Structure 1
Amino acid sequence: MRMTEYLRIMRRRWLAIVLAMMFTAVSAYVFSKLQEPLFRSEASYLVVPNRNDNGLSIVLTNNMNSYKQLALARPQIEKISAQLQLDRTPEWLLEHISIQANADDRKMIVQVDYPDVDMAPRLANAVGENMAALVSSLNDGLEGTDKINMRITTPATPPILYRPQTKINVAAGAFLGLIIGFLLAFVLEALDDTLKTPDDVEQHVGLTVVGAIPASNPNSDRRTPARRQL
């Protein structure tokens, strides 16, 4: 199929393309408005060993994942939820709280998504402080040089709207609608077996068009009797 034929189909089926774009864009907008807003806040903590050698560094890398698992254990989340008087279940909180353990720079990043803009940073700080307290309790049975400390480097950041991203959703919906509209246009064109142009006649019938009957003008037909009367 030549490019001119693609353009001809799009000109003929432009309404289907536009309607598909409008439908998907409006659907994306409605979906965004129905989503519960979530605000994201992050707090960073640095894990520091009391002595700096290769052996302890390897242990530190392995332990950081253990710290993460301890901090995200259900009893710890339930304790924090009770302290802050949250109205969310532990299961919901565990889905919206994450801790990234970056062994390269020895950082633990607490990330929280919460519907209350004021509670999001409080929850991030609470999870981080509780994790630091757990690490400190693990040091009780260790010698001074074997202890691993955790200190805060960046308190919870001001919350930003994480969800919904209405503009992005609408743009993505419109783009999806454009693709669907193009596909719909070609499907409608394939189902339409009427002959509209000389090219259609040559392609489907195999005959060359040598002439065409011009369309009649109703206005000129009405004027003809009057002219004859004159």
Structure 2
Amino acid sequence: MEETISLRELFAVLRKRLWLIVLITIIAATVSAVISFFVLTPVYQSKTQILINQAKNDQQLYNNQAIQTNVQLINTYNDIIKSPAILDKVIKELTLDRSAQSLSSQIQVSNAQNSQVAQIIVQDTSAKRATDIANTTASVFQKEVPKIMNVDNVSVLSKATLAQSASPIKPQPFLNVAIAIVVGLMVGVGLSFLLEYLDNTLKTEQDIEKLLELPVMGIVTTIKDVPRVSNVQQADLNARVPQRGEKFGS
């Protein structure tokens, strides 16, 4: 016979193991909060913008072909910005204690589609150092491009600034705790159903009917132990019980 599970049975399982679901959720949220607030190091982000624009002369008009050339050059410039030729000078100028490869992992260069503006985005555990790296990278790149590409078509559009109340971009403790709560609920609910599925003990007469497919004819209730009576209590009880032929209370 095919078994079916009703919504009432599902809610009964959740209500039965509600303590487990709540416990797992609290543990997940607590662990996430402790790691986010006390373990993970805050990371700050700063960015600067550079403009890729070919120099024009009197005979050259500003047309779509020139724009497309500048856009295509951005892809090449992205690689140059993160190359040791630029980052080694940035490290030397800022006296950073890291390699060019390590600094390159902190820098991201991006631009919108068909845009001549590129963004140099830097992430660091120090907000001030992230700002300095972004500005220095843009400045060094602007100086070195004419030597590398034989063109002078880069200008700094906007410099990175250090806000007075800079907030880290990661970790985000409250978001992490919210995600941990959702994950904890999912794990708790899943574990509750798993434990219920693995529990094959018979607890009610309905379980017996499902297993044997026979109706239950009777139930033997639990009989509590009768308390023992001491000798003094027994003698007092015998004195209170009237003997044959006697009236009670005479």
* Other-structure match for 2:160: 155
Contact 1:64–1:103 (CA<8 Å) still a contact in 2?
Answer: no
* Other-structure match for 2:14: 10
2:144 pairs with 1:134: yes
Distance 1:217 1:125, change over 3 A: farther
Q: Which runs of 5+ in 1 are unaligned?
A: none
Q: Where do residues 190-229 of structure 1 align in structure 2 (5 Å cutoff)?
A: 190-209=197-216, 212=219
Contact 2:128–2:162 (CA<8 Å) still a contact in 1?
Answer: no
In the TM superposition, what is the alpha-carbon distance from 1:214 to its structure 2 partner?
5.8
Larger strand proportion of the pair: 1
In the TM superposition, what is the alpha-carbon distance from 1:24 to its structure 2 partner?
2.3
Q: Deviations over 1:10-40 (max 9, x none)?
A: 1111222122222322332333232222111
Distance in 2 (alpha carbons) for counterparts of 1:180 and 1:209 = 37
* Other-structure match for 1:74: 84
In the TM superposition, what is the alpha-carbon distance from 1:58 to its structure 2 partner?
2.0
* Other-structure match for 1:23: 27
Distance 1:206 1:7, change over 3 A: same
Distance in 2 (alpha carbons) for counterparts of 1:212 and 1:133 = 93
* Other-structure match for 1:171: 178
SS of aligned partner of 1:150: strand
Distance in 2 (alpha carbons) for counterparts of 1:4 and 1:47 = 66
Distance in 1 (alpha carbons) for counterparts of 2:106 and 2:148 = 26
Q: Where do residues 74-113 of structure 1 align in structure 2 (5 Å cutoff)?
A: 74-113=84-123
Larger Rg belongs to: 2
106-115 or 95-104: bigger deviation: 95-104
Q: Deviations over 1:82-115 (max 9, x none)?
A: 2112233322211111111334231110111111
Distance in 1 (alpha carbons) for counterparts of 2:148 and 2:62 = 19
Contact 2:89–2:140 (CA<8 Å) still a contact in 1?
Answer: no
- What value does the CA root-mean-square deviation take over the aligned residues? 2.9
2:67 pairs with 1:57: yes
Larger helix proportion of the pair: 1
Percent identity over paired residues:
23
Contact 2:135–2:159 (CA<8 Å) still a contact in 1?
Answer: no
Distance in 1 (alpha carbons) for counterparts of 2:89 and 2:219 = 85
Distance 1:100 1:211, change over 3 A: same
Equivalenced residues, count: 222
2:42 pairs with 1:37: yes
8-17 or 48-57: bigger deviation: 48-57
Alignment-mate amino acid for residue 165 of structure 1: Q
Q: Which runs of 5+ in 2 are unaligned?
A: 228-232, 241-250
